[in-house]
Amino acid sequence: MIDFTSAHQRPGRPLGKAVVTREQGLCLHDISLMRAVAQGVDARAAADRYLPEVHADERVIQSYLRRISREAAQLVADMGDVSASEALLKRCDPKPVAQVQVVMPSLEQFAEEEGIEDFSEAEIIALYKERFAEQAKPGVRAVASQQELNLALRGLATVQSKGMTLPQPLDPVLRWFSEGLSAQLRGQGVFVLHDLIQVINTHGKHWYKTFPGVGKDRARRLVGWLVEHEEYLQASVIPRCRWDKQPPTSGGVVSVQTPSPDLIGQALATVGGFSLRADGPNAMAAGSDAEAVSSWLEAMSFKSENTRTAYIRDVHRLMLWAREQGKTLSGLTVSDAAAHARFLGNPPAHWMSALPARRDTLDWKPMRGPLSASSAARALTAIGHLFSFLVETGYLVANPFSHIRKVRPTGPLIDTRRSLTSREVQHLVSVIQGLPEDATKRRLVALLMLLESTGLRIGEVARTWGDLVAAQGAQLDEETDSQTHYLRVVGKGERERFIPLRQAVIDALEAHRRDRRALVQAGLIPDLPQIEEPLISVLEKPVQAALASASGALSPAGLHRLIKAVFKQAADASSETDMRETFEHATCHWLRHTFAHTVLKASGKDLPVTQQLLGHGSISTTGIYIKADMSDRVRAINAMPDPFAKSPTTG
């Protein structure tokens, strides 16, 4: 009879890290772990693949494997299959079986057994390697007995069908994860497995950053475990939150991934019917809508990168919409143009996703929600630019968007009220000062000081140290510090401007640059000449391509993520409802509005100076900030005489 006595912990020996509390018998991941080990996979590699937490201690893995294999063997023996029970115990021994050797035949014996004596020596060697390659793989234990393995697998199949516990949506996290991890999850409001899936789907792939102590590796393991058990959890981790690569999408609105010329061609599949195409030749020598749009893209190369990106995105959305209507670009009418304008403000549900997603995932949608009046106006301007180009070059005979694109929102395009008060700025500063002193904080300080003191647009932050230039003597008066440095910025319309930087801002940027140099010395990012080094850089690798450039400069998306994260911290740290709501809605552009109001007050409402610092093409745009200064309005109204006020002498 087999001895199934449990192995007790030796006195004074800790259980190790991440010991899973199993209150209800064997679990599905236990079966997967034992099956892998039984088939020859190294215990550490199998644990890393199947267990929901990281077992950093090899001793913990061996102890855990020994415990579950004895429990499984006991179940199999109780069902009367003693031979399978014995085989299960032998095959699931976590210790490497270095002594077990497979007696492999010589080449002559192998050729005789296979009846291939007439084959060439090279062919026999190739077949020999193919037959015995599995035994030679590193990290895979030699299979001593196929019969023993079959018995062990039969035992595991019995356990899986009779004595296995499956996770349920409302299971407490402590039932499946270690006490330490469960405490961390419960501290953030995650009490059951369904809560964990909701949190991951809401916060995205980097959800673990809001859970102190979880870490990237453990998060990857947890998500993998949830994905493998989603059949039983009645909920799925959405594709953008998974760590395994997802297949590209196909069909429907999301089949076109990025607005490149090739994909635009897919969106312009030929459909018969009405067409505005001219009969004669055109200046582009275009023979199809796809060729015409490709020529427009070439012409767009002379515009700024931000304008070009926005225009292409808006036109790409139109093409997807037209294809859904069964029409081509040249087949759109004035009625279609009006319908598309209405669509921008009220898109159907299958076009929208509340959460951001990569274009190569199944849950990507073209829109995050209805466009605002100003965004819709900009989109129609971009579309109008395309159609005007096609008419002027002789490809189309008319522009169906010629009047639709002139629609404008009822209010100003700039809502300058979206700015921070001095109290809110001081609150933000106090939150940042309370962060741990590390490279992340130094980068955040450098970024916020740069934005707060320059009013840069988020797309203008990708400057290099080569854009920092010393002021020339002829540019300064006697009262100006000769050590002043300017930041050279090229903004909208390729307009160049120079913004003075305070020394404190330069010092903060230098501190961040020293942290970047440490990454360079570690070989994580390229070593560049100083004039090419970005002012705001990544601090870790690898980084998603959408969040940083090859030089390590943070992209607008990466900057947006940093700013929104610190604004959320400021919101959470505030006890005032209004202030919390302000920081919950604030974006990077709010800092630009804040800068504009601050400069106007500091300069005595000097519009030309403020216009130059902000890079506005028209001074009337800068004037909007003066109109939005509600404090001045209140003071002006209060200073007016009140003819209806009673005189103190008349009572």
pLDDT reading at 356 higher than 70: no
Residues 185 and 257 in one domain: no
pLDDT in tens, 467-489: 888 766 445 555 555 567 888 88
Tokens of 14: 């800790």
Residues 365 and 455 in one domain: no
Kindly state the average pLDDT of the residues 457-464: 84
Within-domain flag for 614 = yes
| Burial classification of residue 140, based on how many CB atoms lie within 10 Å of its CB (0-12 exposed, 13-18 middle, 19 or more buried) | middle
Q: How many domains does the chain have?
A: 4
Q: Reduced to 3 states, what is the DSSP secondary structure of residue 364? A: coil
- Chosen domain end from 344, 378, 406: 406
Judged by average pLDDT, the poorest of 60-64, 624-628, 640-644 is 624-628
Q: Are 31 and 166 in contact (CB under 8 A)?
A: no
Comparison of pLDDT for 592 and 355, the residue scoring more: 592
Strands 26-27 and 164-165: parallel
Comparison of pLDDT for 103 and 249, the residue scoring more: 103
Chain CA centroid to CA 301, Å: 28
Q: Are 499 and 454 in contact (CB under 8 A)?
A: yes
Within-domain flag for 271 = yes
Residues 336 and 462 in one domain: no
Ranked by mean pLDDT, the top range of 124-133, 134-143, 311-320, 488-497 is 311-320
Residues 441 and 496 in one domain: yes
pLDDT reading at 164 higher than 80: no
Within-domain flag for 133 = no
pLDDT in tens, 12-21: 333 333 444 4
Quickly state the pLDDT bin for 25 (edges 50, 70, 90): low
- Classify residue 394 as left (phi > 0), alpha (psi -120 to 50) or beta: left
pLDDT reading at 95 higher than 60: no
Kindly state the average pLDDT of the residues 428-451: 90
Residue-averaged pLDDT of the chain: 75
Instruction: Report d(CA 488, CA 471) in Å as an integer.
Output: 11
Residues 182 and 264 in one domain: no
- Show Cβ contacts of residue 529 under 8 Å, excluding neighbours closer than 6 positions: none
Residues 257 and 330 in one domain: yes
Q: Are 394 and 278 in contact (CB under 8 A)?
A: yes
Within-domain flag for 8 = no
Quickly state the pLDDT bin for 291 (edges 50, 70, 90): confident
Kindly state the average pLDDT of the residues 26-35: 79
The boundaries of the domain holding residue 71 are 26-100+141-164
Residues 288 and 179 in one domain: no
Residues 542 and 514 in one domain: yes
Residues 384 and 520 in one domain: no
In the prediction, which pLDDT does 412 show? 46
**Domain containing 589 — which CATH number?**
1.10.443.10
Within-domain flag for 412 = no
Residues 460 and 370 in one domain: no
Residue 627 CB neighbours (<10 A): 11
Residues 499 and 392 in one domain: no
In the prediction, which pLDDT does 240 show? 74
Within-domain flag for 247 = no
- Show Cβ contacts of residue 617 under 8 Å, excluding neighbours closer than 6 positions: 492, 493, 495
Query: What percentage of the chain carries pLDDT values higher than 90?
Result: 6
In the prediction, which pLDDT does 426 show? 92
**Domain containing 259 — which CATH number?**
1.10.150.130
- Chosen domain end from 406, 441, 466: 406
pLDDT in tens, 638-651: 776 767 666 555 55
Sheet holding 485-490, edge to edge: 468-470, 485-490, 496-501
Within-domain flag for 298 = yes
pTM higher than 0.85 for the full model? Answer: no
Within-domain flag for 85 = yes
In the prediction, which pLDDT does 632 show? 65
Would you state the torsion angle of the CA atoms of residues 342, 346, 351, 356, taken in this order, to the nearest 10 degrees?
120
CA 521-525-527 angle, to 5 degrees, is 65
Comparison of pLDDT for 481 and 161, the residue scoring more: 161
Residues 233 and 370 in one domain: no
- Chosen domain end from 241, 269, 288: 241
